Structure formats: C-alpha cells, structure tokens
Chains A and B, each alone.
Chain A
C-alpha cells in the first residue's frame, strides 16, 4: 500500500522535503512508519518528539495505516 507523509518544521528540514510517498506493507502502523522516518532523517530527529495525525486527525499511538492515508508528523515548536 502507499501512504503520503506530510513533513512539518524539523521533520521537513531533516528530510529535505515537504512530503513523500512511501510504499509500506499492509498492517504497517504509525509507530513503524515513525521509525522509518527517523531512520531517513539520519539522526536529525533524535530527541524530537513527534505527534502523529492521519488524514488530518490526531491519532493514538500505533494506529494501523490504510492504503491512501495521509500521515503528518508534527513536532512541537517553540519559537515565539
């Protein structure tokens, strides 16, 4: 299945893109996808907590993904 990952703030700069489309195994959860994203970031997201939203709604940890889902990883930001 394919999911679109929307990247915001630190995630965007760590991955160098606004969004990416990933092919994932059926049954993949948000927790697994987060690990994939952190690996792709090559350590740039170490120590950064991420809130996950699927199809523009925040979801509990380890939510199972479906084909066509849009997943956003949202870090807290502290500028003011």
Chain B
C-alpha cells in the first residue's frame, strides 16, 4: 500500500498510532533526516512484524514498495516519493509525491518538477497529436495548459484521439478535453479556447506561454504559429505526420530557425484526400 506525505501528515495531525521504519543507509539518513517522524532504523531484509500500522521509508519510495510486495507485509505502507518527497513537503509545503517516478530521474528531479508546475504551454489543435500531448503534459504536472481548437468531436476522430468518446460526438473538442484532462490532474489550470488560431487572436493566446505546441493538421496554421512564435519569442514545437512517418522539431528557440526557415516556399497543394490518409495514422 502507498501513503503520500500529505496523508502521513494527516495521520500525525490526528495523533493516529503508527510507526515509521527507515531502511536507508546512514549517509541518506544524515542528508535527508525525516523531520517530525521519529523513525526507527530497520533492516530491509527483516522488517519486524507487529500489530500496528507501519510506514516504510526509503529515499525515493521505490525500494519500499518492492519490499512490501515481496514480504507480503500487512498494514504496511510505502511513503510515496520517499524521504525526498517528505523533505520537500516539510520545507516547502508542496506534496510532489505523485510525480516521484519522474523526479527520481536526475534529468528532472525536484527542481525540474517545480519548473513544470510553474510552466504554461499552449497546444494549438486538439486532434490526433494534441490529445496525447495534452494528456502527457497534464499528467507530468504542467501548471497551466491552454488548448485551442474550433472543431467538434466526430465519430471518425475516436480511433486516434483518446480524450474523446462516443458520447462526446458533436461537442466542442476543447470543452471535452478540459473535462477529461482535469480528471488526470485536478491541480492543473486548463484554459480552453473554442476557436481556431487566427491573425486576431494569436498573440493574445500565446503571449504568456513558455512553449507553444503546433499540433495542427495543415501547413497554413503552422506558418501562422511560426509567425506568432517569432513575434512573441516563444519557442514552438512542431509535429506533423504522413502515413507512418512523423516529423518533430523545436523551432524559434534561442535564435534557432523557424518553420519558414525550414520550408520557405509558399505552400504546395496537398489534397484533402491526402490529409485524411495522414490523419488515419496520426497516433504514430
């Protein structure tokens, strides 16, 4: 079983009877003391079994989950995010434990998670690309997400746009997406715009974001996003696909080229039929 730092704090506040076992090596215990928990040092290979609810703590909350499963321990909880999450909760009053499986990665860590929580991303297009991107960002802890699309859900969308279901057909995509994304992470602030990006609304929509995701399905929109991205000095991540192949690029970031630098010619006519073929494969 799992317990979060917030839940453990609630136990403390209610003066619930429980014990805390710290299975970490001495250096980790010294560097990350479990303030306020009065832990007992324990050997991970022989957890003493007594009739009281027990919280096992390791550094990141991963080893203890394994111990509970392997030793089939009753009434025993693993502290989600471990000592690292407890310390953050104590010092900053932020429970980051739900993201412990990514904060354990050195490339993200607690600092990276805080940056995600304080970041704003705009996604233009909530179709086959926008849906999974939005799901990943909200799940990962992006603090604020803007989603822009003037389209309604159609039956032919459902096989590749996993935020939508049969009952959503005919509703605005961003309206449904906002509901479903909020279920993934109730703390994320999601702002939906039931319109297509255009010359009039573009700057307003992207001016206060850290990154703009181009998840549209047409080159004209890409060119428009590219112009706004350059004008507002906001990096743009572009994704596109053709059948089973995809393209992805980070553009207009710290002086890097933009979409118009990559494909400078005024654009080519690709037929609607071709676009529909592309859409078939866009989950790739």
Residues of A near any B CB (own CB < 8 A): 8-10, 12-13, 47-49, 51, 58, 74-80
Contact = CB atoms under 8 A, between A and B. Distances in A.
Given A76-B263, A80-B129, A9 B242 contact: yes
Contacts, number: 70
Interface in B227-282: 239-243, 245-247, 262-263, 265, 267-270, 275, 277-279, 281-282
Which 4 A/B pairs are nearest by Cβ-Cβ distance? Answer: A79-B278, A80-B217, A9-B242, A77-B242
B118 interface: no
Contacts of A10: 242
A9 to B, nearest CB: 4
Contacts of B240: 76-80
A18 to B, nearest CB: 10
Contacts of A51: 262-263
A80 B268 contact: no
Contact of B281 (A12, A76, A79): A79
Given A49-B263, A79-B241, 6 more contacts: A10-B242, A47-B268, A47-B269, A51-B263, A76-B222, A80-B218
A78 B245 contact: no
Nearest to A76: B263
A10 B269 CA distance: 13
Which of A49, A76, A79 has the largest number of chain B CB atoms within 10 A?
Answer: A79
Interface residues of B, number: 32
29 contacts: A8-B245, A12-B245, A47-B269, A48-B268, A51-B263, A75-B242, A76-B263, A76-B267, A77-B241, A77-B245, A77-B246, A77-B247, A78-B240, A78-B275, A78-B278, A79-B128, A79-B217, A79-B240, A79-B275, A79-B277, A79-B278, A79-B279, A80-B128, A80-B130, A80-B215, A80-B216, A80-B217, A80-B279, A80-B282
A45 B102 CA distance: 44
A13 to B, nearest CB: 8
A80 B239 contact: yes
B219 A80 contact: no
Which of A10, A47, A58, A77 has the largest number of chain B CB atoms within 10 A?
Answer: A77
B61 interface: no
Given A76-B219, A78-B218, A80-B125, A49 B267 contact: yes
A13 B278 CA distance: 13
Contacts of B125: 80
